[in-house]
Amino acid sequence: MVRYGPSTALLVVDVQNDFADPAGSLSVKGGDTIVDLINGKAWKAIRAGAFVVYTQDWHPATTPHFAKDGGIWPVHCVAGTWGAAFHPALEVIGPSVRKGANGEDGYSGFTMRDPTSGTTVPTALESLLRGRGVTRVLVCGLATDFCVAWTAMDARAEGFETVVLEDLSRAIDLGGSLDKARADMRAAGV
């Protein structure tokens, strides 16, 4: 049973066309089936006084995140394109945090890795949560085994009590990545 209150935040990760639409370039199986469920949870959270925050993967056209530039992923969520927009059925009822705009790599909503220097740059997410007095986060969205998992593990590392809502998330499941992410999250105290 998931409780909500003013010290809780629901983090809705990367429910964007490229992941959530069957025609998206990195379409996650079942991604469009969780949108209404997430809307329901988000309104429930707001009514209980909780905070709801959305993240967006937000890449430049060229980034070492993409296979064509040395990474592993097809081109997706390029800033300002259809693929980077929220799924049209997602009701965005809280602030959104974009990650990767300067070509940074990585999966977490909290931190980005500068591909040249290798240093980690924080996003606005942690200060948004601290400013609201949040101590507990519930993480859902796309994809369970990448951005949801890394966001959840970073949240835990920052000291937030962290729960992943797996029924409101869907996985890419690339070469056992879902099992690995589940084990890593458990080991991290998520």
| Residue 104 binding partner per list Zn ion, ligand VGL, none, with a CB distance cut-off of 5 to 8 Å that depends on partner kind | none
Kindly name the residue from 41, 99, 145, 154 that is annotated as catalytic.
Answer: 99
Number of residues that bind Zn ion (CB under 5 A): 1
CA-closest candidate to residue 3, choices 166, 165, 174, 145: 165
Cβ-closest position to Zn ion? 57
Instruction: Kindly give, in sequence order, each residue whose CB lies less than 8 Å from that of residue 17, ignoring residues fewer than 6 positions away.
Output: 23, 24, 82, 83, 84, 85, 86, 87, 88
Cβ count near 120 (within 10 Å): 14
**Binder among 18, 57, 145, 154 for Zn ion (CB under 5 A):** 57
Q: Whose Cβ is closer to ligand VGL: residue 4's or residue 11's?
A: 11
Cβ count near 162 (within 10 Å): 22
- Verify whether residue 140 is a known catalytic residue: no
Q: Whose Cβ is closer to ligand VGL: residue 8's or residue 56's?
A: 56
Q: Whose Cβ is closer to Zn ion: residue 53's or residue 84's?
A: 84
Minimum Å gap between C-beta 135 and ligand VGL is 25
Kindly name the residue from 14, 18, 21, 32 that is annotated as catalytic.
Answer: 14
- Verify whether residue 147 is a known catalytic residue: yes
Instruction: Kindly give, in sequence order, each residue whose CB lies less than 8 Å from that of residue 52, ignoring residues fewer than 6 positions away.
Output: 9, 10, 12, 42, 45, 46, 93, 94
HEC assignment per residue over 50-82: CEEEEEEECECCCCCCEHHHCCCECCCCECCCH
Positions in the binding site for ligand VGL (CB under 6 A): 14, 19, 57, 73, 107, 142-143, 146-147
- Verify whether residue 21 is a known catalytic residue: no
List residues binding Zn ion (CB under 5 A): 57
Catalytic residues: 14, 99, 147
